[in-house]
C-alpha cells in the first residue's frame, strides 16, 4: 500500500508538467493521440517511473503514460496480439467510472514500449461534468430517445434490443455533457413502414436531445451479383464457383445450419430464428421477383464470407454465428444489418432479391465494423463505414469468383448501369470522389466515394490486389480506427497497417492523395520521405508531406487556412495560443565533411497581439544541437518585437559542424497572455 501511494505521488508530481500532456483545462478538449511523439512519450514515462515498480495492469500503465488525470481511466474493450509479439489494446476512456462516448484509445506495444497510438483522449472534463447522479433515469432517457428517434412512427412500431447507457458525450462545440446514449431496433408488421435503428444522445440532466442519427446500416442502393433473371440461373453443386451448400443432414431432412452460418426463412414476416429445412438433396424454395432461390444464395454466400475474412484478413467476420434472414417483409427493397443478424428483402421494382455475394459481404462487413472500430454511422466516419462495407462486398466477390468488378449493385439492379462506381464514384451523379467536396449533409452512401476510390486505386496498383488492399483496410478497422475516425485519421490507420504487413506505404499514401486525403502524421516504418530539393539536406523541407521526417509538438505542422504558408499548402505554426505554452520543431541532419560552408535557411513570418515596442514576451529560438541534445549554437532568438506582415528568409552558418549529425531545432515559447504566432516554412541546409 505504501509503495502504491508513493508511486501515485511521484507520477502526480511529474504529470502533467513532466509528461506535458494533461494540463489544466477550462473546457473539454479532444487530443489526437496519433499526433503525439511516441518516442518522446516512452522516454518521459521511463524517466517518470524510474525506480518505481512498473504497473502490472496494461490499462493503468497506458493511462499513466498518456497523463490521464486521477478521475479518468482506461477500460479494455478488445485485445489482439500479432505473431511477432506486438500487442494491440483498445480502450474506452472513463471519467468517474462513466464511459466517454465516441472515441477509443488504441495502444500498440512491443517489448514493453509503446509502438503506435491511435484514437483520441478527452481532457478537461472535471470543469464541465458536475459530481453527483444523473437527474434522469435510464428509462426516462429511453422514452425520450424513442419518441425523438421514431417521431410520428412511434405508435406504429415495436422495439427490441433497447439500450440506454450513461456516458460522457463531448459535442461538436467541445462541450461535455453527462448523457444517455439511447439505441434500439424498431420495426412494424405493416408493409409500408421501414425498419429503423435510431441512435439518440439525451442530456442526462435536462432531457435535451443533443444528437441523433439513423444507425441501420443498409445496402440502400444495393450491391452485388446473384442468381436472378439478369445474371441467369445457376445451380449450386454443379462445380466450379457453384459449390455445394453446407447444410446439416438428418435422415432425409437438410437444415441450413452449420458452425458458421444459419439461414432463416421469414416468409414475408419480420421475426424468426428457426433454421430453414427442406427435403434433401435439392432445395427449390422459392422463385420470387426474378430470383430463383434467394435462401440458397444467402446461405452459400454466408459461407463464402465466413471463409473470406480469416483467409484475407486473419480475423473472423463476426464473433458469433452469422444468421442470414431471408424474405424479410413483402416487396422490401433493401438489406440491412440490425446489430445481430442479416436481413434480406425480396426487392420489388428497383431490385431483384437482395441476396448476392457482395450485398451479403457488404452487410456482414457492417457487423465486422461494429465489433471493432464501431465507426459512427454519420459524417465522415459514416462514409468510411459504408465504404468499408463496399470493400467487403468486393472482397467477397473476389473470393468467390477470383475477380471483382468494383461496380456496386450492377447485377441486382433492375435498371442499366451500376448504383455506385468504386473507381469513378461521381459517375452515379451523387457520390463524391475527393475529400474537398465533402459536406456534412451528404448521405453516407455517397460520402463513401472518397474511400471507395482510394481502395480501387490501391487494389489496381502494381503489387497490390483486391485481397491485399482489403487486408490493410480491415487491419486498420480492427486495430487503429475508432468511432470518430475521419478521412485523414483513417488514412493514418491504413498506412500503419501497411507497415505492419510489409506492404508499400508510399502506394497507400498515393492512393489517398488521389482523393484529397492525407495522414497528418504518417508512420515512420516503411515510409519513404520525399527527397530533399537539389543540394538540400533537409527532408520534407516545405512540410508538404505533413510531419514526415520532422519531430514536432502535436499540431505544429499544419495546413490550416487560419494562417498562410510561404509556399505550397503546409507550414509550421509554433505558439499562437495566447497562454503559457511551448512548441518545438526539429530534424536531425547529417552534414557532409566537405560542406564547410553549409548554411541553414528558412522563411519566417511573425504575427502578434502584443502591443509593446520594448519587451520580448514571446520568443522563437533557433538552435543547433549535437546527438546528446547539447546546444552547440543559438542561431538567433526572434520575438513579438520582430512581427511582420510577410515572410522573410533567415540564415545561420552551420559549416562548423561538417562531418557531424546535428539537430536543427525551433523552440517557440509564449507567455500567459496575448498570442504570438511564429510561422516557419521552406527550411534548407545547403
Indicate which residues carry an active-site annotation. Answer: 363, 445
Cα–Cα distance measured from residue 143 to residue 198, given in angstroms and rounded to the nearest whole number = 13
DSSP SS3 for 656: helix
Residue with cell 489482439: 80
Cα–Cα distance measured from residue 106 to residue 71, given in angstroms and rounded to the nearest whole number = 20
Supply 141's cell numbers: 432517457
Contact between residue 177 and residue 210 where contact means Cβ atoms under 8 Å apart: yes
Cα–Cα distance measured from residue 291 to residue 293, given in angstroms and rounded to the nearest whole number = 6
Cα–Cα distance measured from residue 491 to residue 485, given in angstroms and rounded to the nearest whole number = 9
DSSP SS3 for 224: coil
Instruction: Tally Cβ neighbours within 10 Å of residue 405.
Output: 17
Cα–Cα distance measured from residue 139 to residue 82, given in angstroms and rounded to the nearest whole number = 42
Which of 602, 589, 684 has its CA nearest to residue 636?
Answer: 602
Contact between residue 97 and residue 90 where contact means Cβ atoms under 8 Å apart: no
Helices and strands of the chain, counted as H and E runs: 12, 29
Instruction: Name the region of 175 (left: φ>0; alpha: ψ -120 to 50; beta: rest).
Output: beta
Which of 624, 630, 611, 618 has its CA nearest to residue 665?
Answer: 624
Supply 251's cell numbers: 435422415
Contact between residue 328 and residue 270 where contact means Cβ atoms under 8 Å apart: yes
- Find the largest Cα–Cα distance for the chain: 97
What's the length of the chain? 686
> DSSP letter at 641?
G
Instruction: Name the region of 289 (left: φ>0; alpha: ψ -120 to 50; beta: rest).
Output: left
Buried b (16+ CB within 10 A) or exposed e, 620-654: bbbbbbeeeeeeeeebeebbbbbbeeebeebebeb
Cα–Cα distance measured from residue 330 to residue 318, given in angstroms and rounded to the nearest whole number = 28
233 beta partners: none
Residue with cell 470493400: 391
Amino acid at each position: 500500500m505504501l509503495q502504491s501511494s508513493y508511486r501515485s505521488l511521484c507520477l502526480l508530481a511529474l504529470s502533467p508538467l513532466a509528461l506535458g500532456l494533461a494540463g489544466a483545462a477550462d473546457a473539454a478538449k479532444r487530443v489526437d493521440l496519433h499526433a503525439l511523439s511516441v518516442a518522446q512519450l516512452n522516454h518521459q514515462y521511463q524517466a517518470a517511473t524510474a525506480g518505481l515498480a512498473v504497473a502490472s495492469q496494461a490499462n493503468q500503465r497506458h493511462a499513466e503514460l498518456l497523463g490521464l488525470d486521477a478521475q479518468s481511466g482506461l477500460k479494455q474493450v478488445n485485445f489482439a496480439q500479432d505473431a511477432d509479439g506486438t500487442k494491440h489494446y483498445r480502450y474506452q476512456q472513463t471519467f468517474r467510472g462513466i464511459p466517454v462516448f465516441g472515441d477509443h484509445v488504441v495502444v500498440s506495444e512491443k517489448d514493453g514500449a509503446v509502438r503506435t497510438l491511435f484514437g483520441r483522449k478527452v481532457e478537461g472534463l472535471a470543469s464541465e461534468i458536475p459530481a453527483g447522479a444523473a437527474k434522469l433515469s435510464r428509462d426516462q432517457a429511453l422514452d425520450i430517445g424513442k419518441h425523438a428517434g421514431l417521431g410520428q412512427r412511434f405508435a406504429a412500431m415495436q422495439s427490441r434490443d433497447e439500450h440506454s447507457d450513461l456516458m460522457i458525450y463531448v459535442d461538436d462545440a467541445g462541450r461535455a455533457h453527462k448523457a444517455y446514449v439511447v439505441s434500439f431496433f424498431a420495426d412494424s408488421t405493416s408493409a409500408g413502414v421501414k425498419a429503423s435503428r435510431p441512435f439518440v444522445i439525451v442530456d442526462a440532466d435536462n432531457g435535451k436531445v443533443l444528437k441523433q442519427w439513423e444507425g441501420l446500416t443498409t445496402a440502400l442502393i444495393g450491391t452485388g451479383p446473384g442468381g436472378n433473371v439478369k445474371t441467369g440461373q445457376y445451380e449450386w453443386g454443379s462445380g466450379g464457383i457453384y459449390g455445394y451448400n453446407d447444410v446439416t443432414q438428418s435422415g432425409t431432412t437438410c437444415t441450413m445450419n452449420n458452425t458458421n452460418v444459419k439461414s432463416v426463412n421469414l416468409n414475408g414476416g419480420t421475426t424468426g430464428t428457426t433454421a430453414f429445412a427442406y427435403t434433401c438433396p435439392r432445395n427449390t424454395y422459392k422463385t420470387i421477383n426474378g430470383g430463383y432461390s434467394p435462401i440458397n444464395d444467402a446461405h452459400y454466400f454466408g459461407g463464402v464470407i465466413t471463409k473470406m475474412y480469416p483467409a484475407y484478413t486473419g480475423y473472423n467476420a463476426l464473433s458469433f454465428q452469422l444468421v442470414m434472414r431471408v424474405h424479410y417483409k413483402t416487396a422490401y427493397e433493401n438489406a440491412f444489418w440490425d446489430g445481430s443478424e442479416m436481413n434480406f428483402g425480396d426487392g420489388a421494382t428497383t431490385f431483384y432479391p437482395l441476396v448476392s455475394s457482395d450485398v451479403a459481404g457488404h452487410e456482414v462487413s457492417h457487423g465486422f465494423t461494429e465489433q471493432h472500430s464501431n465507426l459512427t454511422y454519420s459524417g465522415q466516419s459514416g462514409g468510411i463505414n459504408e465504404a468499408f462495407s463496399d470493400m467487403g462486398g468486393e472482397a467477397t466477390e473476389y473470393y468467390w469468383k477470383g475477380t471483382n468488378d468494383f461496380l456496386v449493385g450492377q447485377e441486382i439492379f433492375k435498371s442499366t448501369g451500376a448504383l455506385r462506381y468504386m473507381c469513378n464514384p461521381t459517375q452515379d451523379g451523387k457520390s463524391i470522389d475527393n475529400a474537398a467536396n465533402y459536406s456534412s449533409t451528404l448521405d453516407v452512401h455517397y460520402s463513401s466515394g472518397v474511400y471507395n476510390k482510394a481502395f480501387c486505386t490501391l487494389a489496381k496498383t502494381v503489387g497490390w490486389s483486391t485481397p491485399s488492399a482489403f487486408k490493410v483496410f480491415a487491419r486498420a478497422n480492427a486495430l487503429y480506427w475508432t468511432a470518430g475516425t475521419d478521412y485523414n485519421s483513417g488514412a493514418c490507420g491504413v498506412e500503419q497497417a501497411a507497415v505492419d504487413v510489409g506492404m508499400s506505404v508510399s502506394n497507400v499514401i498515393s492512393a489517398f492523395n488521389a482523393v484529397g486525403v492525407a495522414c497528418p502524421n504518417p508512420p515512420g516504418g516503411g515510409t519513404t520521405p520525399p527527397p530533399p530539393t537539389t543540394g538540400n539536406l533537409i527532408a520534407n523541407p516545405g512540410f508538404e508531406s505533413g510531419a514526415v521526417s520532422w519531430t514536432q509538438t502535436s499540431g505544429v505542422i499544419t495546413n490550416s487556412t487560419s494562417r498562410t504558408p510561404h509556399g505550397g499548402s503546409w507550414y509550421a505554426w509554433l505558439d499562437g495560443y495566447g497562454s503559457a505554452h511551448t512548441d518545438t520543431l526539429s530534424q536531425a541532419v547529417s552534414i557532409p565533411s566537405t560542406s564547410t560552408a553549409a548554411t541553414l535557411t528558412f522563411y519566417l513570418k511573425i504575427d502578434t497581439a502584443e502591443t509593446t515596442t520594448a519587451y520580448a514576451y514571446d520568443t522563437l529560438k533557433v538552435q543547433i544541437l549535437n546527438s546528446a541534445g547539447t546546444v552547440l549554437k543559438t542561431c538567433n532568438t526572434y520575438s513579438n518585437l520582430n512581427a511582420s506582415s510577410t515572410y522573410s528568409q533567415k540564415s545561420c552558418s552551420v559549416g562548423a559542424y561538417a562531418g557531424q549529425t546535428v539537430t536543427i531545432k525551433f523552440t517557440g515559447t509564449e507567455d500567459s497572455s496575448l498570442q504570438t504566432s511564429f510561422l516557419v516554412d521552406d527550411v534548407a541546409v545547403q
